[in-house]
Amino acid sequence: MVNSETFSPDGTKVVTASDDGTARVWETTRGESLVTLIGHEDVVNSAAFSPDGTRVVTASDDGTARVWDAVAGELLTILAEHDSWVLSAGFSSDGARIGTATYDAVSYTHLTLPTSDLVEISVVAVSFKKKQTTSSDVPQVDI
């Protein structure tokens, strides 16, 4: 099953994320597979191009996000500090950051360097978990 599909910034390629643990870069006019990104150990939930189209970030149920060279298919780095399935990942509009979101409702931010070398920044993760409410938390109104 294909879980996501995203166009490259110039529209000439598409990257897909699949249940078979791979992502694939496709040429859009002929539908030809250009490269298969192999390395995840579980379902790949999403894949997205960097703003310049040279890199792809993938998000997987193996608890990692991975950054790849979009042409050669070479693995550039693994972002592995997640405690749960990584549901989505994407680059910021300037390509300087990667955001990831996990099943346990935590969002992470990672910094990329202009040289395409990636460095993980331990930014405090933002949790979007819903607060559990009890009856004592709800104001009582007499009618």
Q: Residue 30 to residues 12, 13, 26, 128: CA-CA distances in angstroms?
A: 10, 10, 9, 42
The predicted pLDDT at position 97 comes to 87
Under DSSP, is residue 36 helix (H, G, I), strand (E, B) or coil?
A: strand
pLDDT, tens digit, for every residue of 70-106? 999 999 999 887 888 999 999 999 998 898 988 887 7
Tokens of 68: 């790849």
Say how far apart CA 44 and CA 58 lie, in whole Å.
7
Task: State the Cα–Cα distance between residues 41 and 142, nearest whole angstrom.
Answer: 56
Closest CA to 84 of 42, 140, 142, 143: 42
Query: What is the band of 142 on the pLDDT scale with cuts at 50, 70, 90?
Result: low
Contact yes or no for 100/112 (Cβ under 8 A): no
Report, as an integer, the average pLDDT of 39-56. Answer: 97
pTM of the predicted protein model: 0.79
Q: How sure is the predictor about 107, in pLDDT bands with cuts at 50, 70 and 90?
A: confident
